[in-house]
Amino acid sequence: MALDSRFYDFKGSQTLRALSAICGFDLSEATDAEISGIAAAGLAGPGDICFHEGNAKTAANVSATATACFVKEASAEGLPEGVIPLVVAIPRLAHIHAAEALFELKSWSAEGDDASIHPDAEIAPGVFIGAGASIGAGSVIGPNVVIGPGVQIGMGTKIGANASIRCALIGNHVNILSGARIGESGFGVTSGPEGAVDVPQWGRVIIQDYVMIGGNTCIDRGAFSDTIVGERSKIDNLVQIGHNVVIGRNVLMASFSGISGTVNVGDGVLMGGRVGIADHLEIGEGAILTADAGVMSNVPAGETWGGRPAKPFRQFLREVAWLQRQVKRGKKPSV
Amino acid sequence: MALDSRFYDFKGSQTLRALSAICGFDLSEATDAEISGIAAAGLAGPGDICFHEGNAKTAANVSATATACFVKEASAEGLPEGVIPLVVAIPRLAHIHAAEALFELKSWSAEGDDASIHPDAEIAPGVFIGAGASIGAGSVIGPNVVIGPGVQIGMGTKIGANASIRCALIGNHVNILSGARIGESGFGVTSGPEGAVDVPQWGRVIIQDYVMIGGNTCIDRGAFSDTIVGERSKIDNLVQIGHNVVIGRNVLMASFSGISGTVNVGDGVLMGGRVGIADHLEIGEGAILTADAGVMSNVPAGETWGGRPAKPFRQFLREVAWLQRQVKRGKKPSV
Amino acid sequence: MALDSRFYDFKGSQTLRALSAICGFDLSEATDAEISGIAAAGLAGPGDICFHEGNAKTAANVSATATACFVKEASAEGLPEGVIPLVVAIPRLAHIHAAEALFELKSWSAEGDDASIHPDAEIAPGVFIGAGASIGAGSVIGPNVVIGPGVQIGMGTKIGANASIRCALIGNHVNILSGARIGESGFGVTSGPEGAVDVPQWGRVIIQDYVMIGGNTCIDRGAFSDTIVGERSKIDNLVQIGHNVVIGRNVLMASFSGISGTVNVGDGVLMGGRVGIADHLEIGEGAILTADAGVMSNVPAGETWGGRPAKPFRQFLREVAWLQRQVKRGKKPSV
């Protein structure tokens, strides 16, 4: 997968031979296979290099059209035929180095083509607009806002003071309040020989039409793919949305809600304040998560869950009430 | 109620006849009654248009001096005599449209009268100060701060870097740390025919003397009235205070505390970290809410509450201890 | 202790005689002892003035080399011999006044020596760099960032848009994302005759090499000493780190984690989202705090804790499971 060239510079293809020196793997045979893209293992295609950190069995899930895949020695034999195994001690770490040999995140103030600003857009003083960015008719950008290179903003959208946006496509009639941080690097960490290492994030954020995003809220860009907030979803202040999260339409999230990476949230889901959702979960359409719910498993569509760890809300309430009754009954436990 | 003209532009009065076309209601009789203001239903006066979403019985609580009120058909007969009922499917939505026909939030960089800056105030580079704003003697405004149109800042007040303030009156000797967001739109959402709709917020924030507000904390402006932080209250970093909240004097709030809309907090209340308070509650004077309390009901003055949902702290501790004893007693539950 | 002159201006020494007028204490004997520094009670040395708010017994822990110490009358006799007791009603409050007579925090835009910016550093538009600050080779400062006077930034470090840094020393290859607030005043409050009073904070923040700090995260400077984040520690968005916290190397903290003042966190500690740690605790090396843990006591090295209040994770899980079984057994409690 080629990365979105509005946000990432492509340095040019590399042969596996050249990458082997950079990433510290031995090529079993000299190969001039060209690598021109990176992707998540399941989605990699021709020319892509990916990585797999599971076992030999789950290695079968790596896309059969990927050109090459970093794997641990024990898992290499599990890769689909045709995918060149690149055996390394820490596949994710090797992949970081390969990705950085191919691509580079444009810096906030990257030079390049001029931004395209509609004459009917209102740009306050102190605003920074990066090269190649675009701002549509009737949009209003508040003072001291920072819009990174390549960011696309639709029509009738408002951005509050001191907000910052990078690696993002923003729709029409979106309302982003002051201090929101859109498109920062998701929280990815792996282990290197000297300790913890940041995992660069190569994706984007997509904000659809009529979305509201509260003050000082953070929405991280995807690792390889996109973090998406669907049409008319409304997000309060001080909310955290992790990388690769996909939020449907008409979702409401109150303050201090947080969604870990790679969660899918169905249309119309309601979250009270301080709801937390662990990574890689599915929240079904129309589900209600009550204030302070700590969601550690999938939530079926239409159900109301609460508590920590979260469970069906009635069950949570029964447990709260039962415990209270037991303890009120006497100072000495009656069991 | 006329809105504060320092923050909101008045577009001029409208007849109900004119509003009927904008808001989609049928006038039972042609009326040229003039509407010049908006208000919450209980506080509306002559010339005001308000809305009621309850039933026919609670409609009696609508102010008898209001000129007109959006209601559902079934509730219309409950309105006080003299209030013109405007029957619509979604009263709140119709009221949004009426309010927007009458008033408009000034944009961050609205043009107009010059700001009034005391010669003894210290204004750092990169600061934006909106039209009609005022900054008192001895106040110090940090770099890249954004002060919206009409904002009034007293004497000896300090504003940290990159903070933003709009629709707000700030007292003397206030200390607002970097990145705080004062006066953003509260989180109001209603349903429209196409999905979730933002409810515009028409009030202000009032910060009294000697208040401290931490870094990246958010204090939303009121819906129709004011969000107030009383004298000498001290608020930590990353706190959320919702619309219409009224906080007394000498209140302490630690990080990640959050107060939902329309809560009253008495003088001298102490909140540990991560306290959450549901909307429309009363926290009595001198109450203590321990770290992580999730308050779902009123808290009497002077009491200490904790737990989620919060209850008197001793009771919470007894429940925690009882549960622990039961489970420690044996691996098999003894019941 | 002399404060770091890069961040605080020294107004010159004061005799105790002069301070007595400022701070409202009676000198038992006229003394011209010179005070030139402030410090925490246990670390005060010659020329320092400190305060003690405990009883006569704990007053023995005040450093015997301190020149003078504010104490309550009942505790004065407990001070080590040679330390001049300064009897006042509220020792901390008197110390605030003494400290402010000696030192002053430089304002964000303090004038003075030019900053030192390496020619290979990349400084985006709208950046404010205070007097005496230093930025190393290869560092990249994003648009509208604010760097306070005297801040030292190493080589290859990146600062995201709209972030602000004061009273801080930042290492090499650090990555600070947009909107982070480094070096703000910690949350210190004491009581004065008219109500709550801010306790000024006189320390610094030290961020070691290869640290990552997420968007809108806040790290407060120390009260008298330093808040430290150790090498390669990785901190997510919207995290709060209080004054005097010392975090080791390779520590990971997920979103909404918060650490109260004066906590020590050992190397390699992992914190899930929304972990809270009460003040003055020790988290042992390699401990794991699961998402939403509310830590109220020390955690031994290598242990996994969870729940609120936090306990060993297995015990927490047993309690959760036991309670659920009891309540599921029947609608009527079976006890």
Residues near A282 by beta carbon (within 8 Å), at least 6 away in sequence: A263, A264, A266, A298, A299
Q: Kindly compute the dihedral angle of the four CA atoms of residues A207, A212, A218, A224, in this order, to the nearest 10 degrees.
A: -10
H helix and E strand count, chain C: 3, 39
Terminal-residue alpha carbon distance, chain B: 63
Q: How long, in residues, is chain C?
A: 335
CB interface of C with B, residues 251-310, below 8 Å: 256, 258, 260, 274, 276, 278, 294, 308-309
Average pLDDT over residues C135-158: 98
* Tokens 């907000």 belong to residue: A163
Q: Considering only CB atoms, which chain A residues are within 8 Å of C178?
A: 146, 164, 166, 181, 184
Q: What is the mean pLDDT of chain C?
A: 95
State whether residue C236 sits within 8 Å of chain A by CB.
yes
Cβ–Cβ pairs < 8 A, chains A and C: 149
State whether residue C218 sits within 8 Å of chain B by CB.
yes
CB contact under 8 A, B291 and C311: no
- Sheet containing B146-147, strands listed edge to edge, beginning at the edge strand earlier in sequence: B128-129, B146-147, B164-165, B181-184, B218-220, B240-241, B258-259, B276-277, B294-295
CB contact under 8 A, C322 and B333: yes
The single-letter code of the amino acid at C292 is: D
Q: Considering only CB atoms, which chain B residues are within 8 Å of C240?
A: 236-238, 255-256
For C120-140, the pLDDT digits (tens) are: 999 999 999 999 999 999 999
**Catalytic residue numbers of A?**
243
For C178-213, the pLDDT digits (tens) are: 999 999 998 999 999 999 999 999 999 999 999 999
> For residues B325 and C311, is the Cβ–Cβ distance under 8 A?
no
Residues near C285 by beta carbon (within 8 Å), at least 6 away in sequence: C248, C266, C267, C268, C269, C301, C302
Domain ranges in chain A are 8-105, 167-315
Q: What band does A332 get if pLDDT is binned at 50, 70 and 90? A: low
Probe site for chain C from A93, A104, A106, A108 (most C CB atoms < 10 A) = A108
Q: What band does C335 get if pLDDT is binned at 50, 70 and 90? A: very low
β-strands A240-241, A218-220 pairing: parallel
Residue C22 or A199, more confident: A199
Q: Distance (Å, rounded) from C-alpha C169 to C-alpha C121?
A: 17
CB contact under 8 A, C327 and A309: no
Neighbours of chain B (3+ CB pairs under 8 A): A, C
State whether residue C198 sits within 8 Å of chain B by CB.
yes
Is B280 catalytic? The answer is: no
> Which residue in B109, B197, B325 is closest to A125 by CB distance?
B109
β-strands B103-105, B8-10 pairing: antiparallel
| C162 to chain A, closest Cα gap in Å | 6
| A140 to chain B, closest Cα gap in Å | 8
> Which residue in B128, B181, B335 is closest to A335 by CB distance?
B335
Average pLDDT over residues C307-330: 93
For A135-186, the pLDDT digits (tens) are: 999 999 999 999 999 999 999 999 999 999 999 999 999 999 999 999 999 8
Give yes or no for residue A290 having a pLDDT over 60: yes
E-strand spans in C92-229? 103-105, 116-117, 122-123, 128-129, 134-135, 140-141, 146-147, 152-153, 158-159, 164-165, 168-170, 175-176, 181-184, 189-192, 195-198, 204-207, 212-213, 218-220, 226-229
**Catalytic residue numbers of C?**
243
For C217-228, the pLDDT digits (tens) are: 999 999 999 999
| C335 to chain A, closest Cα gap in Å | 6
Q: In chain C, which residue's Cα lies nearest the Cα of B210?
A: C197
Q: Distance (Å, rounded) from C-alpha C74 to C-alpha C53?
A: 10
Q: In chain B, which residue's Cα lies nearest the Cα of C191?
A: B250
CB interface of C with A, residues 79-138, below 8 Å: 122, 124-126
Average pLDDT over residues A73-81: 95
Q: In chain A, which residue's Cα lies nearest the Cα of C273?
A: A276
Q: Distance (Å, rounded) from C-alpha B317 to C-alpha B322?
A: 8
Supply the CATH classification number for the domain B167-315: 2.160.10.10
Which residue, C57, C45, C52, is CA-closest to C70?
C52
CB contact under 8 A, A292 and B276: yes
Q: Considering only CB atoms, which chain A residues are within 8 Å of B160?
A: none
- Give pLDDT tens digits along chain B (335 positions): 789 999 999 999 999 999 998 888 887 666 889 999 999 999 999 999 999 999 999 999 999 999 999 999 999 999 999 999 999 999 999 999 999 999 999 999 988 779 999 999 999 999 999 999 999 999 999 999 999 999 999 999 999 999 999 999 999 999 999 999 999 998 999 999 999 999 999 999 999 999 999 999 999 999 999 999 999 999 999 999 999 999 999 999 999 999 999 999 999 999 999 999 999 999 999 999 999 999 999 999 999 999 999 999 999 999 999 999 999 875 554 44
Probe site for chain A from C218, C229, C237 (most A CB atoms < 10 A) = C237
pLDDT score recorded for residue A331: 55
Q: In chain C, which residue's Cα lies nearest the Cα of B333?
A: C322
CB contact under 8 A, B128 and A144: yes
Q: Considering only CB atoms, which chain B residues are within 8 Å of C214?
A: none
CB contact under 8 A, A196 and C250: yes
For B236-248, the pLDDT digits (tens) are: 999 999 999 999 9
For C96-109, the pLDDT digits (tens) are: 999 999 999 999 99
Bridge partner list, B81: none
Give yes or no for residue C329 having a pLDDT over 80: no
> Which residue in C258, C325, C335 is closest to B273 by CB distance?
C258
Q: What band does A24 get if pLDDT is binned at 50, 70 and 90? A: confident
Give yes or no for residue C278 having a pLDDT over 90: yes
Q: Which CATH class is domain C8-105?
A: alpha beta
In three-state secondary structure terms, A13 is coil
> For residues C207 and C170, is the Cβ–Cβ distance under 8 A?
yes
Q: Considering only CB atoms, which chain C residues are within 8 Å of B293?
A: none
> For residues B285 and B299, is the Cβ–Cβ distance under 8 A?
no
> Which residue in B122, B126, B291 is closest to C294 by CB distance?
B291
Percent of chain A with pLDDT over 70: 97
User: Can you tell me the ipTM of this complex?
Assistant: 0.96
Q: For the packed helices B91-102 and B16-23, what is the interaxial angle rounded to 10 degrees?
A: 120
CB interface of A with C, residues 160-189, below 8 Å: 162-164, 166, 179, 181, 184-185, 187, 189
Terminal-residue alpha carbon distance, chain C: 62
Probe site for chain A from B218, B243, B296 (most A CB atoms < 10 A) = B218
Residue A202 or A334, more confident: A202
Global pTM reads: 0.96
